[in-house]
Amino acid sequence: MSSESKPRILFSREEISATVSRLAAEIKQDYQGKHPLLLGILKGSFVLMADLIRLLNFPLEVEFIRLSSYGGSRQSSGRIKVVQGLRSPIKGRDILVIEDIVDTGLTISFLLDYLRQRKPASLKLCALTDKPSRRQVPVTIDYPGFTVPDEFIVGYGMDWNEQFRYLPELCSIEVED
């Protein structure tokens, strides 16, 4: 059983829009003319991906990968598996991973290692939110959005037990596992 409180807004639509525009401007400067592959991690990154690519008006491709992590919903177990893999080869490509949140860092570290083994030309990370207080392994976020407190974050694509992805703001909820 799990229960949760009413979502409390941490970042408004306007703040999100300004941050996504800032990220897009940085990405545009670095990737224009490179035809990068933006690789979203399902499901949490789909809203960011949709908003971001519409601000990047240059040729790029979009792919998604789905990972699973065993363990409770609050805590990443670190035992991660690729459930839906890449459909395009990434060898020699400029890959920009799009993630919703870096918490312990275990998921993204696993994915970056997995991708690195496939020899991309370059590999960078854009993460909408960063919860550095819970980090277990070091992670470099090349394009960071918001730093968030040690609270459970929902909205703008992020869920708690598949709930709240539809919220247009970034919110926090109190959860009990």
Helix pair angle (13-31, 46-53), 10° resolution:
60
Q: Which of 163, 137, 170 has its CA nearest to residue 43?
A: 163
101 lines the binding site for ligand IMP (CB under 6 A): yes
Task: For the CB of residue 5, give the shortest distance to ligand IMP in the complex, in Å.
Answer: 14
Binding mask of the shown chain, residues 122 to 161, with x at each position contacting ligand IMP by CB under 6 A: ------------------------------xx----x---
Per the annotation, the verdict on 177 as an active-site residue is no
Phi and psi dihedrals of 132, rounded to 5? -65, -25
Task: For the CB of residue 125, give the shortest distance to ligand IMP in the complex, in Å.
Answer: 12
The amino acid occupying position 165 is R
94 lines the binding site for ligand IMP (CB under 6 A): no
Lookup: tokens for 117: 């083994």
DSSP bridge pairs for 175: 4
Query: Which residues contact ligand IMP (rule: CB under 6 A)?
Result: 41, 44, 76, 99-108, 152-153, 158
